Amino acid sequence: MKPLKIGISWVRGVVGETLAPELVVDFACAFGTFVEGAPVAVGHDSRRSAPMVHAGVLAGLQSCGCDIVDLGLLPTPIIQYAVRSRRLAGGISITASHNDARWNALKFIGRDGMLLNSFQSGQVMDIYHLGEFRKRPWDKLGQIRRDERAAQGYFEFLLDKLDAPRIRKAHLKVVTDCCAGAGGGLVRGFLERIGCTVVALNDEPDGDFPHSPEPNVRNMKGLASVVKSVGADAGFLVNTDVDRVGLVAGGGIPLSEECVLPILADYILDSTPGCVVSTLSTSRMVESAAARHGRKLIRARIGEGYVLQKVVTEKAAVGGEGSGGVAVPKWTRWFDGFASMGLVLECMARRKTTLAELAAGLPRYHMIKGSIPSSSERIYPLLEAFRKSYHSESPNLEDGVRVDWKDAWLHIRASNTEPLIRIIVEAENLARARELYDLCYAQVQRLQTAGGA
């Protein structure tokens, strides 16, 4: 099983195993060839492997003749904004986002700041596989310019969009956990600028992650206890490049990462026309948010690139995933932890409500998520077997197999980021969810064993 994954908009691998410098350089060259040597931005998160990947990316882009705005240590949304606001041809964000410290990745950003969509990604991969990269002579190599001002520019942009005076007047106290990622220092600075009192945990961006950087309930223990002990109104857990956020309500109550999109969707739809885009694996909670405003919900394949592709074509008001990644397309077309946190606070301030109340307003579903390690050669036969066994339920086959019933749904698919089969079920009552999940899990295991025999 090789820990290298090539997905829509990125390539991700384990440093010291698959993510070797030559591979990094090759992908940087493929991207530099894709943008035809035009100027690009590069930034990275706080991982210890960042200097190695960063140097390889710079060398590859330089050799293609791309002038580089080197943004240094920065979260992905700010790199994306820098690409858009400076009218660059694209960018590379060096981050494995929510993956643990062994991993690193290149996220490819297009001309408009959006992650590459599936067509653009396909072109980069074709160039990579052909191996015929753009090569420029000594006097046409890309020049590197350092730029330390991107974060300030982005915060000014967001401050202008958010109702900062209202947030300020609410005197909100928040606790942040940046997991020693690229948000360290910056998230706190941003929240202070919109008038919050901030207690910052794991705020030193040194790459020594104190826990798994995935912003889910499992990783919120420390944050929740501080939210409770300091009497904060909210807690925010962000991943290493701040494209996702997880929420802790006042009193130290962790909210499922599935709550972020429905809470924000409900608030954004108050003031914005358009539909909602989420994924095949996202909770039905967002359906009721859309239904309440009389809007359509469109489900895309999993992955930011796919979601934003749909957001653009459907002119959606909001798009996101159940993992805590939400895009606010009237401002920006990418998953953005900063915009998400700002809007959650604005919602609390304007509606004079608490996170606990917002969460309580969501319909109750029971979701069970799990995964089973599986080698890539087994995944597809296995999904095929599933498709056959649920044939009579007319499953959705856009991304793995999704089956919908009136009171429940299940989704089984190959992970984009790891060699895993993911199983997600959601039902109105827990017993039904458990029953479906167990059935599905046993089925996967049976098929795996059969495949191995």
Partner 1 sequence: MTKVQSLKISISGVRGIVGEALTPQLLAAFAGALGTYLGRGPILVGRDTRPSGLMVLNAVFSGLLSAGCEPVDLGICPVPSIQVRTASVRSQGAIAITASHNPVEWNALKFIGSRGLFLNNYQAEELLDIYHQRNFAQVPAQEIPRVRQDSRAIPEHIQKLLDYFDARIVRGARLKVVIDSVNGAGSLAAPAFLRQLGCRVIEIHTRPDGLFPRNPEPLPENLGALRKAVVANRADVGFAQDADADRLAVVDAHGRPIGEDYTLALATLFALERRRGPVVTNLSTTQAIDDIARQLGCPVIRTKIGEINVVEEMIQSHAVIGGEGNGGVILPEVHYCRDSMSGMGVVLQLLAARRQPLHAIVASLPRYVVIKQKAEFPPDQVSRLLDALERRFPDARKSTLDGLKLSWDDRWLHVRPSNTEPVLRVVAEARSRSQAQALVRDAQRIIASLK
Token pair for 222: 């420390």
Separation between Cα atoms, residue 24 and residue 334, nearest integer Å: 24
Is residue 14 involved in binding partner 1 (CB under 8 A)?
A: yes
Question: Over the Cα atoms of the chain, what is R_g?
Answer: 21
Separation between Cα atoms, residue 404 and residue 409, nearest integer Å: 4
Separation between Cα atoms, residue 254 and residue 356, nearest integer Å: 9
Count of chain residues binding partner 1 (CB under 8 A): 40
Is residue 16 involved in binding partner 1 (CB under 8 A)?
A: yes
Cα distances from 17 to residues 12, 102, 103, in angstroms, run 11, 10, 10
Is residue 132 involved in binding partner 1 (CB under 8 A)?
A: no
Is residue 432 involved in binding partner 1 (CB under 8 A)?
A: no
Interface residue with partner 1 among 1, 2, 51, 210 (CB under 8 A) is: 51
Separation between Cα atoms, residue 97 and residue 247, nearest integer Å: 17
Is residue 60 involved in binding partner 1 (CB under 8 A)?
A: yes
Separation between Cα atoms, residue 445 and residue 448, nearest integer Å: 5
Interface residue with partner 1 among 119, 122, 129, 140 (CB under 8 A) is: 140
Mask 61-80, x = binds partner 1 (CB under 8 A)? -xx-----------------
Matching residue, tokens 């293609």: 64
Give the CA dihedral 391, 397, 399, 405, nearest 10 degrees. Answer: -60
Minimum Å distance from CB 171 to partner 1? 41
Closest to partner 1 by CB, 204 vs 270, is: 204
Which stretch, 13-21, 105-113, 250-258, 376-384, contacts partner 1 (CB under 8 A)?
13-21
Q: At what angle do helices 186-193 and 337-350 cross, to 10 degrees?
A: 30
Is residue 59 involved in binding partner 1 (CB under 8 A)?
A: yes
- Geometric angle at alpha carbon 365, from 172 and 328, rounded to 5°: 50
Separation between Cα atoms, residue 427 and residue 404, nearest integer Å: 10
Closest to partner 1 by CB, 15 vs 403, is: 15
Interface residue with partner 1 among 104, 216, 278, 281 (CB under 8 A) is: 104
Nearest CA to 28 out of 47, 52, 2 is that of: 52
- Phi-psi category of 153—alpha, beta or left, where left has phi over 0 and alpha has psi -120 to 50? alpha
- Phi-psi category of 283—alpha, beta or left, where left has phi over 0 and alpha has psi -120 to 50? beta
Closest to partner 1 by CB, 25 vs 317, is: 25
Matching residue, tokens 């046993």: 442
Is residue 4 involved in binding partner 1 (CB under 8 A)?
A: no
Is residue 193 involved in binding partner 1 (CB under 8 A)?
A: no
Closest to partner 1 by CB, 184 vs 329, is: 184
Minimum Å distance from CB 43 to partner 1? 15
Q: Site residues for partner 1, window 310-339 (CB under 8 A)?
A: none
Interface residue with partner 1 among 4, 6, 38, 144 (CB under 8 A) is: 144
Length of the chain: 453
Token pair for 124: 């980069």
Q: List alpha helices for 131-259, DSSP H.
A: 150-161, 164-169, 186-193, 221-230
Which stretch, 86-94, 138-146, 247-255, 380-388, contacts partner 1 (CB under 8 A)?
138-146
Interface residue with partner 1 among 3, 4, 6, 20 (CB under 8 A) is: 20
Mask 24-43, x = binds partner 1 (CB under 8 A)? xxx-xx--------------
- Do residues 101 and 214 lie in contact, with contact meaning Cβ atoms separated by under 8 Å? no
Minimum Å distance from CB 343 to partner 1? 34
Closest to partner 1 by CB, 49 vs 117, is: 49
CA 151, 152, 154, 158 dihedral sign is: positive
Which stretch, 128-136, 149-157, 371-379, 413-421, contacts partner 1 (CB under 8 A)?
128-136
Closest to partner 1 by CB, 131 vs 294, is: 131
Minimum Å distance from CB 418 to partner 1? 16
Minimum Å distance from CB 300 to partner 1? 31
Residues binding partner 1 (CB under 8 A): 14-17, 20-22, 24-26, 28-29, 47-49, 51-53, 55-56, 58-60, 62-63, 101-104, 133, 135-142, 144, 208
